[in-house]
Structure 1
């Protein structure tokens, strides 16, 4: 990933925030023909210091379920268009796109033992049911569906390289950055979120 020094981030708290915001990732491997193959899957993210684990599963019918070796996981953050009119010197500027993203590379490991798959599916259900106030749990809520585990294959990636990028106008004067944040505040929920992230990256949480 191309990441000029203004936008490169080393603080892993940004990675935590990206996964907390949206743990539906793009998983990319190289197939037998040497071509990139992508799946889009929800994952469980765990970090203990610099040790990171990312787990998820495929349908057994997914060709990627037979992949092993080098892989790339892309975690997507907020993003949006920035108009030159939002700067203090608009005649000297051009449009751009602001965004945050993480690329994690490592060797992909797969597993299909029932105990690990059951634990993984249970964790995924908890991760998404609890915020909804739901009480669906696996396998307690669906004991008759244990056999469905035969239809999936799990994976785990412990990244050996992490690239974090937050492109939020850090290369602009403070007045321009504040102008962009102010303009985004006038927009919808998507733009409001982008403004919040810009505020944190550029100026901390204080308004």
Structure 2
């Protein structure tokens, strides 16, 4: 992706934190008939490989769940963080000279990896358990895979394929108005923080962290 220096993030810990905070990703591969995308939650194992490994599953009927064609190559996994429209009406610069325009602030991570597919029931059950435990954490009465009859779970598993994506390269972008004067950025944070939209407030929090750094 287009990655100007002031928006580029290289801290692996910060990148992994964002991937865990926004785990619903878009998996894109390129086959003989063109690009193909799947949307799925992924679990990051940050200790496996130089940049970590992503784990998930798709339906066997999904093209990503079948044996790849020879043109598949490296997969692109896109993680979408918070994003929102930025109005120039918030800028201090608007009052000073008026030479301002709208923009869009967002967090995006591109992970490049090769897909390993697996159907081993023990390994697949482990991934399902970890994914479930991750997303049920904090629930008042968290559901567990073992709450369902084992025969039922085994039958369901026959319809899915496990995915392991060892990351070979990562690009991370925090486009949070780092190129604007600090007064403009603080005014944006104030404006977004007062919004009733969770996405706006999430962007405000991200901008505030960047300002502190």
| 1:184-195 correspondence to structure 2 within 5 Å | 184-188=192-196, 189-195=198-204
Residue correspondence of structure 1 range 1-207 to structure 2 within 5 A: 1-33=1-33, 35-48=34-47, 50-66=50-66, 67=68, 69-90=73-94, 91-145=98-152, 146-188=154-196, 189-204=198-213
| Structure 1 range deviating more: 133-142 or 65-74 | 133-142
Q: How many residues align structurally?
A: 203
Task: Say if 1:185 and 1:191, in contact at 8 Å, map to a contact too.
Answer: yes
Q: Contact between 2:50 and 2:168, CA under 8 Å: does it hold in 1?
A: no
Report runs of 4+ in structure 1 exceeding 3 Å deviation. none
Q: State the TM-score, normalizing by the size of structure 1.
A: 0.92
Q: How much is the aligned-residue C-alpha RMSD, in angstroms?
A: 1.6
Out of 183-192 and 166-175, give the one that drifted further. 183-192
CA-to-partner distance for each residue in 1:89-110, whole Å, 9 max, x for gaps?
1211110000011000021111
Q: Which of 41-50 and 56-65 deviates more? A: 41-50
Cα shift readout 1:119-159 (whole Å, capped 9, x = no counterpart): 11111111112221334222453313212111000111111
Q: Which runs of 5+ in 1 are unaligned?
A: none
Please say if residues 168 and 202 of structure 1, whose CA atoms lie closer than 8 Å, have aligned partners that are also in contact: no
Partners of 1:18 and 1:76 within 8 A in 2:
no
> Structure 2: where are the runs of 5+ without partners?
none
Q: Secondary structure, in 3 states, of the residue corresponding to 1:169?
A: coil
Structure 1 counterpart SS, 2:52: strand
| Kept after mapping to 2: 8 A contact 1:14/1:164 | no
Moved more, 53-62 or 140-149: 140-149
CA separation in 1, counterparts of 2:138 and 2:50?
Answer: 27
Which deviates the most, 142-151 or 117-126?
Answer: 142-151
Structure 2-normalised TM-score? 0.90
